[in-house]
Amino acid sequence: MTYVDLVLQKLSTDGDREAVIGGDTRLTRSQARDLLFRLADGLVQRGVKPGDGVAVYVGNTPEAVLLNLAVHLLGGRLVYVPPEPGPAELKALVERAEVAGVVVDPSFGEQIDGWHLQDLPGDPVERVPAPEFATVAYTGGTTGLPKLAVHRPNPLAATDPRAAMPPVTMLCNTLITHGSGSSMSKAALVTGSKLVLGPSTFDADTFVRLARDEQIAVTMFVPPMLYEVLDHPDCPGPQFGMVLVGGSPLAPRRLRQAIEKWGPVVNQGYGMTEALGIAMMPGTDIDLDRPETLRTVGRPDPAMEVEIRDGDVWVRGPFVMEGYWGEPPLSETADGWFNTGDMGYLDDDGYLYLNDRSKDVIVTGRTSDNVYSRLLDDFLVTLPGIRQAAAVGRPDEALGEVVHLFLVTDGQEDVDVDRIRDSVVAELGDLYQPRGVTIVDQLPLTKVGKVDKRKLRSQFR
Ligand code: AMP
């Protein structure tokens, strides 16, 4: 039995209950079930067979959620297409993914050609879900084309404990074609919950409205989204049963603020496209008097192994991808182990702490020491008037790189750069001393809503 069977079980009972909501569309369970079978039939009519790849270039709509499910129902290999870069790159990526077809939602973008999602539904032919399928997710990629991470069904999914959880109303804020949004939409459907889709590009006003009008109980943010909601004049009060925050570094001060606002329901998660669900720190284990509990990403999931090798976090287990498409599987090359590219350490009680992504570490000084940019980011937002901060390395002839800060202020008071420099040196030492500061209105974000340090660094190259 796969997660698709579990979803179908839920969609086959209480047909009039709402299942998936997005924009102006509100689908009941029976409407969602019908559309799921129609979309699967549309794919079959276009020649899609079990094992075939189907690329999807879609945004956050109920139809797109069901399309993704339909590909898995047929035993296909679902290939998510990133919302960027340009048409030529996307075409190359789709070619590399070796798919039988591409489904495009033109209202999301017209960067590539394919079968239009709106025209896809065929007949409502009921089909039994295939036992095997795969998902291919694009990774951020440092240069050139994103890499394609292949995930096969999680062997734990058949006994997915979430299936027994009571249904609630969940709001998905990230793209459903990213690991976070795809996990959230699956979790909602498997538990028979009502899935509310936020827009493909997050905005805090819409979040505030949906949280109130749809009475959201469970949601997930990447940190910059959380910060915008916390700073919003109509930020919701304590209405949530569970809030998950993860996907990029979460400033302890902001996590504290969220817990003070919403209670101990705010959990910090650590995962990535290549290894979904590595560790989680439950809000109930966070003690506001013990600051380290606001910094840790928690203990590794019991199903996952985590090792620190030369400062890098390595992982192995059922949530790790099989490998990159077109490359040998990790089981052949590394005995299943995967280097996350994150630097961190485990404490004596098995709690995992992340220092920085290795690409974001600033290597500076005559002895090429490591400055963990994230330590700076976390500290800077504790200073008065600073709302968001991103430290990056700026190339420097003498020192290799030097620390450069991008700051978003609250506009209330003038920012005194000398005072900031002094505070940084007093807290973190000379090595962390910023050599340049740029005040910006907002930090650039990736399409998933994370701070885009690559874009910040590119200003210097
Ligand atoms: P992505 O593959 O786009 O989901 O990005 C995954 C990366 O986000 C990880 O390798 C980490 O660098 C970062 N990340 C995810 N969760 C956290 C977290 N809770 N704290 C710090 N960094 C995180």
Q: Tell whether ligand 1 has an atom less than 6 A from the beta carbon of residue 139.
A: yes
Q: What's the pTM?
A: 0.93
pLDDT recorded at residue 154? 62
State pLDDT tens for residues 96-155. 999 999 999 999 998 899 999 999 999 999 999 999 999 999 987 555 678 999 999 765
Residue 396 has pLDDT above 70, yes or no: yes
The Cα–Cα gap between 316 and 278 comes to 9
Q: Tell whether ligand 1 has an atom less than 6 A from the beta carbon of residue 94.
A: no
Name the pLDDT band for 295 (thresholds 50, 70, 90).
very high
What single letter denotes the amino acid at residue 133? Answer: F
pLDDT recorded at residue 83? 87
> What ligand 1 atom has the least distance to the C-alpha of 179?
4
Instruction: Please report the beta strands in 130-177, taking only residues with DSSP state E, as ranges in sequence order.
Output: 134-138, 148-151, 169-172
Phi first, then psi: give them for residue 168, nearest 5 degrees: -135, -170
For residues 177-204, give the mean pLDDT.
Answer: 95
Task: Tell me the pLDDT of the chain averaged across its residues.
Answer: 94
pLDDT recorded at residue 181? 94
Q: Tell whether ligand 1 has an atom less than 6 A from the beta carbon of residue 121.
A: no
For residues 426-437, give the mean pLDDT.
Answer: 95
CATH 3.30.70.260 applies to domain 361-458: no
Percentage of the chain exceeding pLDDT 90:
88
* Run of H or E including 364: strand 362-364
CATH 3.50.50.60 applies to domain 3-352: no
Of 248, 324, 360, 361, the residue with max ligand 1 atoms within 8 A of its CB, to mutate for a pocket test, comes to 248
pLDDT recorded at residue 88? 87
Residue 443 has pLDDT above 70, yes or no: yes
Q: Tell whether ligand 1 has an atom less than 6 A from the beta carbon of residue 354.
A: yes
**Atom 12, ligand 1: which residue's CA is nearest?**
357
For residues 430-434, give the mean pLDDT.
Answer: 95
pLDDT recorded at residue 158? 44
- Print the SS3 string covering 396-434: ECCCEEEEEEEEEECCCCCCCHHHHHHHHHHHHCHHHCE
For residue 318, give the nearest of 158, 180, 189 by alpha carbon. Answer: 158
State pLDDT tens for residues 231-252. 999 999 999 999 999 999 999 9
| Burial readout 7-34 (b: 16 or more C-beta within 10 A, e: otherwise) | bbebbeeeeeebbbbbeeeebbbbbbbb
Of 178, 342, 445, the residue with max ligand 1 atoms within 8 A of its CB, to mutate for a pocket test, comes to 342
pLDDT recorded at residue 429? 93
Q: What share of the chain is helix, strand, coil (3-state, %, to 5)?
A: 30, 30, 40
Percentage of the chain exceeding pLDDT 70:
97
Q: Tell whether ligand 1 has an atom less than 6 A from the beta carbon of residue 423.
A: no
State pLDDT tens for residues 340-395. 999 999 999 999 999 999 999 999 988 888 999 999 999 999 999 999 999 999 99
In the chain, which segments carry CATH 3.40.50.12780? 3-352
Helix axes 62-73, 3-11, angle to 10 degrees: 130
Name the pLDDT band for 415 (thresholds 50, 70, 90).
confident
pLDDT recorded at residue 148? 95
The Cα–Cα gap between 433 and 38 comes to 60
Residue 461 has pLDDT above 90, yes or no: no
State pLDDT tens for residues 305-349. 999 999 999 999 999 999 999 999 999 999 999 999 999 999 999
* Separation of CA 224 and ligand 1 centre (Å): 13
* Separation of CA 271 and ligand 1 centre (Å): 6
Q: Tell whether ligand 1 has an atom less than 6 A from the beta carbon of residue 355.
A: no
In the chain, which segments carry CATH 3.30.300.30? 361-458
For residue 231, give the nearest of 214, 254, 210 by alpha carbon. Answer: 254
> What ligand 1 atom has the least distance to the C-alpha of 446?
3
Q: Tell whether ligand 1 has an atom less than 6 A from the beta carbon of residue 297.
A: yes
> 280: which strand partners?
269, 299
> 305: which strand partners?
316
For residue 435, give the nearest of 407, 460, 404 by alpha carbon. Answer: 404
